[in-house]
Amino acid sequence: MSFGLTIIIVSLVWIISEILLARLKHSDPTSSRQDKSSLRLMWTAVVLGITAGVLLAVYRAGTIHTGAVYFAFCGLALILIGLAIRWVAIMTLWKYFTVDVSIAEDHKLVTTGLYKYVRHPAYTGSLLSFLGLGLVFSNWLSLLVIVVPITTAFVHRIKVEEEALLSFFGEKYSKYSAGTKRLIPMIY
């Protein structure tokens, strides 16, 4: 199987998994929705960022010539690692995971598994995958227009989510936040 076909298959699996997740994991009607349009902002950043990244790669503006194949292979590895991290995080939260920011009446604060090390491992996984996608194109401009707006939208989403969690869990979430980083263990 060629590298290009591998990237297409991985990308299709990624897209299909996100579509299925979006269709299956909305909050139930009894939960407190606190999304503040952050999901819409995230998807807008994703669609625009990826579209711009693909166009820049197609028109070869910003192409990396030296070591391009290594960037592409590293990018594919990051996509796969990111997807694995995201899905492990989602499966850990399963009952409490929703695509929109919401708190269920019986919501429990999960601090085990990957959540022991970072507060938002599903976002860490997604951002690693987007970084990988930018690298797959072996194009500096593609990398920039994919990673910067998407990361900015995710950081906004994290703030919205943390406000909701702090409001619901109070001191328990404050204590958890003090002991864990948001996205990158021991760094941020």
CATH number at residue 54: 1.20.120.1630
User: Is residue 25 in some structural domain?
Assistant: no
User: Is residue 16 in some structural domain?
Assistant: no
Residue 99's pLDDT is 86
User: Is residue 185 in some structural domain?
Assistant: no
User: Is residue 21 in some structural domain?
Assistant: no
Non-local (6+) Cβ contacts of 33 within 8 A are: 27, 100, 101, 102
Residues 158-182 have a mean pLDDT of: 96
User: Is residue 83 in some structural domain?
Assistant: yes
Question: Where residue 80 falls among pLDDT bands split at 50, 70, 90?
Answer: very high
> Which residue range(s) make up the domain with 54?
35-179
Locate tokens 């919401």: which residue? 102
Looking at the structure of the chain, the number of domains it has is 1
Residue 28's pLDDT is 62
User: Is residue 187 in some structural domain?
Assistant: no
Mean pLDDT for the chain overall: 91
User: Is residue 13 in some structural domain?
Assistant: no
